Structure 1
Amino acid sequence: MAKINVLEKQVAELIAAGEVVERPASIVKELLENAVDAGASSVTVEIRRGGISYIRVADNGSGIEREDVAKAFLRHATSKVRECDDLGQITTMGFRGEALASIAAMCRVELLTRAAEEEVGTLYTISGGEEESLEDAGCPVGTTITIRDVFFNTPARMKFLKKDVSEGNSVAAAVEKAALGYPGVGFKLIRDGQVRFQTPGDGHLLSAVRCVFGKEFSENLLPVHYESKGCMVDGVICKPTSARNSRSMQNFFINTRFVRSKTCMAALEESYRNALMTGKYPSCVLNLTIPPQTVDVNVHPAKIEVRFADEKSIFQLVYYGCKTALGIANLAPELKAEDLQQNPSKREVAKPAAPVQQRMSADAYRMTLAQKVEHLKSAREPVYDQTEKMDSVKPSAPVRFPGIRVSPEAVLAVESPVPVLQKVAQTSSRPAPVISEIHLEPPEASAPGETSAETLYDGARLIGELFDTYLLLQNGDELILVDKHAAHERLLFNRLAAGGLAEERQLLLTPVSVQLSPEEHALVTEHLTLLSRVGVTAEDFGDHFVLVREVAPILADADLPGLVTEFAERLSCANGNLLPGQLEELYHRIACRAAIKAHDRTPAPTLEQLIRLLQQDGNVGHCPHGRPVAIRMARREIEKKFGRLG
């Protein structure tokens, strides 16, 4: 039988240190936490060779008194915790008293510090856990710790370090997280003699975000502020149009401590449901302020993972906070001249070629310009006359509209569009759906600087339709392009989600019977009320059939058997209990089936009615798939593209 030995102090310290110090980034993280806890307003981090050979962290905090300097490097020596009850009230970043001891066990450490009440500073050196010197030194108030030769006495751990660049990137990430968690502290990172980034420490999160992630990222954010049951979430989230291909830009903080939380991540992504395309993920910098006794930060040596006493309340806090912020999101992204490239995706990965300067005489330039004008005139199609009034059109003169021809009957039906639209639909290649009047509550006021639906479409004039898919509107000095399918789909989805199809019904001339499996039949007949809420009135017809007799007008042309079957399948997968997210997905599918289709010709009155409904609804920024409903382009950008601004 193997004999049990008591490990020597040095061996035990190396093993314990390995749980805290994994790489240079671990060291920087622990030292940054100590600097913040010391009340520093300015912290400078300098590294060389990715932090493997040299790390220096300097702060202007309270410093360490001389009598406590050596004690600070003892294991489990801390000023943050005294009794067992203190573990439930942790509000500081560091508290275990393991950081400095672990670092000193594996590195060569030099500490220079002075407390405010002391006239002379202290220089302390310790290497491999063995104290070397303690002497007087001149220095400002604060603490500077210099680390050299990481893992010098544990070569086995050196083998697991990555290249200098990778280790340096990890250190930079640690400093960035600290800068985002503490915007009131100015952080500077110096890497191999070059300043990589510096935050102002002005207390504004956007300032820190701009310094860490850049101007483009910071300009596409929405502020978040939400309180519930004594908890609060603050920060920023990205606009749906700025979602990324990965979750790498999701940053969560609990009481300013950076954490990785599946609960917060799931709540964030759930709040973007029906606003993002598949494969896109939202970005965020969110700080949750919650009572310290409701979260356990002592479940992981690096304090990256935490455990909540009530996961559900945390989920709801993040979900409703982000959902509220998205409710006032910009409805239409602005398209700029530099975005009008023939291959935008290629532009992102390829550097643009240097412009080629051409010399041309004035006569040659005029001749070239005249040729282009003549070419445009010959290729130009009839365009809808913007000055022509609908009420002045005579029955004998049909209105010219890009891509469609509207009969005189449709033109005269503006005052009572629904009956005539039904008549016009009979002559089209595909029936044009009737856009029923949707009664909506007035949208909430938008945040300053945001574009509401009313502002976006108020005063807009319909000037044409492009490719039988996109509506062209002019509003002041802006051109607005609206995806008619996406717009109608979102309007229908909003109405379904609000229960707006529960009342209106249209009797079918021929009832539609739908055959289901025994299990599905039982579930559907048990949830006929829910089926009615989505616009389908059905009844049990016996022998595993249900009979659809009435539907909401917008579903008159929909595939009713497919709709009922899909409803049954979703009930079956959910064991008869559709969760809110699953119900939203069902609404999404129904809206997609019933909406105006792209590439189909649509009468002008229908399109004008669609614009009016968009103006009424305050939440039509994106279709349920996550694609934008509209994009804007300023007149200045158009004129810049044509070279009119020089």
Structure 2
Amino acid sequence: MSDVIHLLPDSVANQIAAGEVVQRPASVVKELMENSIDAGASKIQVKVIDAGKSEIQIVDDGVGMSDTDARLAFERHATSKIKTSHDLFSISTMGFRGEALASVAAVAQIELRTRQQTDELGTCILIEGSKIKSQESISCPVGANFIIRNLFYNTPARRKFLKSNITELNNIIAEFEKIALCNIEKSLELYHADNLLISLTPSTFKQRIISLFGKKLENYLIPVEAQTSIVRISGFVTIPEGAKKKKACQYFYINGRYMRNSYFCKAVQSAYERLITEGEQVQFFLRMEVDPSRIDVNIHPTKTEIKFEDDNAIWQILSASVREALGKYNAIPALDFDKQGCPDIPVVGSSNSIGLPQVHIDESYNPFNTNDHATSDSVHKWQQMYQTLTNNQQAKPASQELNFSEFKDDGGFDIVGEGSTLFQFGKRYVVVLKNDRFVFIEQHRAHYRILYDRYIEQLSQRKGFSQGLLFPELIHFDVVKLSVFNLIREELIVLGFDFSDMGNGTFSINGVPDGTADVSPQLLIENLIGDENLSGRSVGEKIHQVIASHLAMQSAIAIGQVLNQDAMENLVKQLFATTNCKYTPDGKPILHFVELSQINKVFM
């Protein structure tokens, strides 16, 4: 039997390795930015086109490479960071495995221009699928300029499974932010299709956090400092009011390297025990410095998983440091047991005289005299109070009344008309009784369906109605949210929103769609942008349905709202005029029919 085991060609081996190192365009940005940092660059520019699918360009002013090094850098396990196995236990650079460039070159077309300070001319190398096509001397600035084109061009299956542009761009921004937070002394810029998304100058750690995540976060940050023989901790955590239900900013750095560590996250979370509600996530930006010989970075090709020799001790130190910071800056509510619940007793001065209590009796009062003025006056006040309570039970109509004729369901049932009776049940259901038949209508879902159809029609006809705000509200977006907002901004304007660009990601909300005045426009837009269903879509992938559904759900009548007779009739008429009166846009039932015969069966 012939031999069947053989060595794979380098090009195939590189493509296999690329499956671990290069997962998406964001992976390329991460690896090349880390190389620029190791090269001592003080300024790094990242430019992407088509969310990195078509082109990624990384330009730095680092030390550059010689002709030989530029060619050798694309070979597997070629690196300048380590030389012996002992160096693996004292790693101080971002990269060390020598796999990144070889993996990228295996699945993309690369152009590299680089020059050292001591050289008059630089070198330009063109590589496709791990094969060097050309290398020549050129004139170029000191540093390196990587251009990666057509990522996964030779692995169509990998390219097919890339997400939409907005999702891939958000992943690139996330990797950019991770590197920017731990390199505050460097100037960093991120461009997408020649549009500047992020521009950062050298600053303090706190200023870098605010530049990336908005000024609103500044009011919640408190510093954390701790120094022991095992670890040195510095950074910021937020006060309990800064916790979030989802998408909280949680960043750990070890010796300048971003890492994921759920164990240490629990240490920070434990410091907020009984300070935040269940399900909320603490936000933190913490840097730790540990002796490189006491950690192992060589766990995963992405180098974000790190093993610690003293993880239990660091857990205790981290938790204690956060607790100390919360207490030092009064983030923990204080309980004064000497004064808690005590009555406020005024202090009596020596000059004040205390008199005996006086009792006043109305000798003219006769409880049997029904014509007494005081009694009639009291009864009149009770009648006024009762009338006030009755009036308070009347709610304003849920929406503007439209001219509708009587509508019928699929079975020909005349839902609103002569002989029908409407009433509200449990402050949730509108019940219609007619011809020995009950119809239970869930008011929130019914209004949700009505508004959804209205918004869809406005978006399709590109014509909505705006209601101006007496006091415009300001809303600020970070880079990730700004990219989503720019995607849907035109559609929001069609619906009736009116925005003014104030610069630096801040917008003034001057008007809102008709019928949403009772909902906070700032909260409405923030919830819409945070919708996970929206971030993964493009304009051509039913984005109108996502916007209409979210706005309609936020603006619909709330469960528990009391409706008067006119509001109930108007709601029922508009519901049976929609495209689907039986189900909400997300498939939940709106109404339920109960026949008299069904009730009779219960008592048989």
Question: Which band: TM-score by shorter chain?
Answer: 0.5 to 0.7
1:215 is matched with which residue? Answer: 215
Query: Structure 2: where are the runs of 5+ without partners?
Result: 334-343, 359-604
2:354 is matched with which residue? Answer: 394
Does the CA-based 8 Å contact 2:223-2:325 persist in structure 1? yes
Matches within 5 A, 1:419-434: none
**Shift in Å at residue 306 of structure 1?**
1.0
The 1:134–1:229 alpha-carbon spacing in structure 2 relative to 1, beyond 3 Å, is same
**Shift in Å at residue 33 of structure 1?**
0.6
1:181 is matched with which residue? Answer: 182
1:467 is matched with which residue? Answer: none
The 1:128–1:390 alpha-carbon spacing in structure 2 relative to 1, beyond 3 Å, is farther
**Shift in Å at residue 244 of structure 1?**
1.0
1:22 is matched with which residue? Answer: 23
What CA distance in whole angstroms lies between the structure 2 residues aligned with 1:397 and 1:130?
Answer: 104
The 1:394–1:277 alpha-carbon spacing in structure 2 relative to 1, beyond 3 Å, is farther
What CA distance in whole angstroms lies between the structure 2 residues aligned with 1:87 and 1:311?
Answer: 19
**Shift in Å at residue 322 of structure 1?**
1.3
2:463 is matched with which residue? Answer: none
Does the CA-based 8 Å contact 1:44-1:188 persist in structure 2? yes
1:109 is matched with which residue? Answer: 110
Query: 1:115 corresponds to which letter in structure 2?
Result: Q
Query: 2:147 corresponds to which letter in structure 1?
Result: T
1:232 is matched with which residue? Answer: 232
Does the CA-based 8 Å contact 1:75-1:98 persist in structure 2? yes
What CA distance in whole angstroms lies between the structure 1 residues aligned with 2:274 and 2:345?
Answer: 38
What CA distance in whole angstroms lies between the structure 1 residues aligned with 2:193 and 2:348?
Answer: 70
Indicate the SS of the match to 2:73: helix
Q: Map Cα deviations across residues 150-208 of structure 1 (whole Å, 9 max, x no partner).
A: 00001111122111110111001000000111111121111122111111123x10121
Does the CA-based 8 Å contact 2:253-2:286 persist in structure 1? yes
**Shift in Å at residue 246 of structure 1?**
2.7
Q: Map Cα deviations across residues 526-560 of structure 1 (whole Å, 9 max, x no partner).
A: xxxxxxxxxxxxxxxxxxxxxxxxxxxxxxxxxxx
2:309 is matched with which residue? Answer: 309
1:77 is matched with which residue? Answer: 78
Does the CA-based 8 Å contact 1:199-1:207 persist in structure 2? no
Root-mean-square deviation over aligned CA pairs: 2.2
Query: 1:131 corresponds to which letter in structure 2?
Result: I
2:55 is matched with which residue? Answer: 54
Q: Quick check: 1:198 aligned with 2:199?
A: yes
Does the CA-based 8 Å contact 2:326-2:332 persist in structure 1? no
**Shift in Å at residue 330 of structure 1?**
4.2
Matches within 5 A, 1:390-469: 390-391=348-349, 392=352, 394=354, 396=356
Query: 1:148 corresponds to which letter in structure 2?
Result: R
What CA distance in whole angstroms lies between the structure 2 residues aligned with 1:5 and 1:248?
Answer: 49
Matches within 5 A, 1:303-342: 303-331=303-331
Query: 2:354 corresponds to which letter in structure 1?
Result: K
What CA distance in whole angstroms lies between the structure 2 residues aligned with 1:332 and 1:395?
Answer: 45
Does the CA-based 8 Å contact 2:240-2:331 persist in structure 1? no
Query: Structure 1: where are the runs of 5+ without partners?
Result: 334-385, 399-646
Indicate the SS of the match to 1:73: coil
**Shift in Å at residue 4 of structure 1?**
3.1
Does the CA-based 8 Å contact 2:275-2:332 persist in structure 1? no
The 1:134–1:272 alpha-carbon spacing in structure 2 relative to 1, beyond 3 Å, is same
What CA distance in whole angstroms lies between the structure 2 residues aligned with 1:388 and 1:274?
Answer: 35
The 1:214–1:4 alpha-carbon spacing in structure 2 relative to 1, beyond 3 Å, is same
1:266 is matched with which residue? Answer: 266
What CA distance in whole angstroms lies between the structure 2 residues aligned with 1:394 and 1:68?
Answer: 97
**Shift in Å at residue 239 of structure 1?**
1.3
Query: 1:221 corresponds to which letter in structure 2?
Result: L
What CA distance in whole angstroms lies between the structure 2 residues aligned with 1:397 and 1:150?
Answer: 91
**Shift in Å at residue 29 of structure 1?**
0.4
Q: Quick check: 1:39 aligned with 2:43?
A: no
The 1:284–1:397 alpha-carbon spacing in structure 2 relative to 1, beyond 3 Å, is farther
The 1:67–1:5 alpha-carbon spacing in structure 2 relative to 1, beyond 3 Å, is closer
2:147 is matched with which residue? Answer: 146
The 1:97–1:393 alpha-carbon spacing in structure 2 relative to 1, beyond 3 Å, is farther
Matched residues, number: 345
**Shift in Å at residue 274 of structure 1?**
2.4
Indicate the SS of the match to 1:245: coil
Q: Map Cα deviations across residues 13-72 of structure 1 (whole Å, 9 max, x no partner).
A: 111111110000000000011011111111111111111111011111111122211001
Q: Quick check: 1:293 aligned with 2:253?
A: no
**Shift in Å at residue 396 of structure 1?**
4.8
Does the CA-based 8 Å contact 1:227-1:317 persist in structure 2? no
Indicate the SS of the match to 1:299: coil
